Chain A
Amino acid sequence: MQHGSRILSISAAAMPILACAAALTLSAGLWMAWSVPPDARQGEAVRILFVHVPAAWTALLAFLLMAGCSVAVLAGDHPMADIAAETAAPLGAVFTALGLATGSIWGKPMWGAWWVWDGRLTSFLLLFLLYLGIIALRGSFDTPARAGRSTALLTIVGAIDLPVVVLSVEWWTSLHQGASILRKGGSTMAPVYLTPLLVMAAGYTLLFFWLWLVRMRTVVLARRALRTVQEADA
């Protein structure tokens, strides 16, 4: 079987389904997000959470998936795992940047500051810098094979930041609110706000997987075209 054939056949079937599911879920989520009543304390600003939290969750998910792919790269030198890690990094950086920006936009009216150097915000900023570092490191190599192993190592080391982001609000005194959804004893968020948040999170996740498949197909096709040219030249 030609290199990357399996991902091409799987993604050909999955991409239209993911695209439709993402569009429908995001449409439903946006309609729900704009239909909820203003919060008693946050007012209309509560609606920002429906785009901020899913962006942050997707950013963490993308890095977790990259770390899993990186383990596969180092353990088995698997070329598809390397392509998966390579293509997830720019997407993760975009979702992290969105999480930082929308969090900042929420922080100004709620905290009176665009930014504070507390544990959650700083560790999430570090996640963004890790994404940029991984992208830059990969770009500094000439061959994909050498780039793959180096970036895999950096990704696995960088994954230490993931539990720090999640647990930072428990470890240190933080202006950022503590865990209110994924916590022992269940969510403390009112269902009227929790439902649109979870729907939007599902929409962001579906969108991420669609984008990931699109980018993986792009890299597989580009490398095939390059190989064809090299074989023709030889």
Chain B
Amino acid sequence: MSGDYGLFVDAAYGLSAVVLMATAAVSWLKYCRARRKG
């Protein structure tokens, strides 16, 4: 995005998106593995 502090805004949203999506992906993969074993 453009404007004042745009880089900080992009960093905050980018970091949040990456961390939350990675958490969801890891949790879901672990769940799929447990479901296969169970």
Contact = CB atoms under 8 A, between A and B. Distances in A.
* Residue in A52, A105, A106, A224 with the greatest tally of chain B CB atoms within 10 Å: A105
B5 to A, nearest CB: 4
Interface in A12-70: 34, 38, 43-45, 47-48, 51-52, 55
Main secondary structure of the interface of B (DSSP, over half): helix
25 contacts: A44-B3, A45-B4, A45-B8, A45-B9, A47-B13, A48-B12, A51-B13, A52-B12, A94-B20, A102-B16, A105-B8, A105-B11, A109-B4, A109-B8, A207-B20, A214-B27, A215-B30, A215-B31, A217-B31, A217-B35, A218-B34, A221-B31, A221-B37, A222-B34, A225-B37
B19 A51 contact: no
Main secondary structure of the interface of A (DSSP, over half): helix
Nearest to A97: B19
Given A44-B9, A51-B13, A108-B8, A225 B23 contact: no
Q: How many A residues are at the interface, by size bracket?
A: 20 to 34
A222 B38 contact: yes
A55 B38 CA distance: 33
Contacts of B27: 211, 214-215, 218
Interface of B: 1, 3-6, 8-9, 11-13, 15-16, 19-20, 23-24, 27-28, 30-31, 34-35, 37-38
Nearest to B15: A101
A98 interface: yes
A47 B38 contact: no
A82 B27 CA distance: 18
A91 interface: yes
Contacts of A211: 23-24, 27
Given A47-B12, A106-B8, 14 more contacts: A43-B3, A44-B4, A44-B9, A45-B9, A48-B9, A94-B20, A102-B16, A207-B24, A211-B24, A217-B35, A218-B30, A219-B34, A221-B34, A222-B34
